[in-house]
Amino acid sequence: LEENVSEIRSELQGLLAKGGQMVLDPAYPRLTSVGDWDAIRLYHDKRWDPAAVALAPKTTEVLRDKLPGLSNGLPYIHHNTEEVCFFRMTPGTRIAMHSGGCNARVNLSLGLLGCSDSFIQVAGEERQWRGGELL
């Protein structure tokens, strides 16, 4: 992912400029106490979204064959065992502490835009998002 960050970032900027709001949904509204947390879901519920994929073909190409469950026939425990999303938060957004539905997969987060003063806390450890770096 980090090797392709320039292309992925450019694609996201273009996507937002040309109507990404058409495929933008609230991410997980029950977890947002302050601000807005939205998602553009490229892969969700065991399928690639054709409208989102058409807006982000390079990102799709980079990740299409990399999802372990999809590529290797691993079981899906719930609808978002594997996801490929662009998440967007408004400044000051607070997300409640939470966990995934299972621990069957590892989450990767790649900071693209507006990462300054943004962090994630896992098991009491705070990590700063930095543009172009994976968490």
Question: Is the pLDDT score of 72 beyond 90?
Answer: no
* pLDDT higher than 90, residue 6: yes
Confidence at 129, pLDDT banded by 50, 70, 90: confident
Residue 28 pLDDT > 70: yes
Could you tell me which residues come within 8 angstroms of residue 74 by beta carbon, excluding any fewer than 6 positions away?
A: 68, 104
**Model pTM?**
0.84
- Spatial separation of the C-alpha atoms in residues 118 and 64, rounded to whole Å: 28
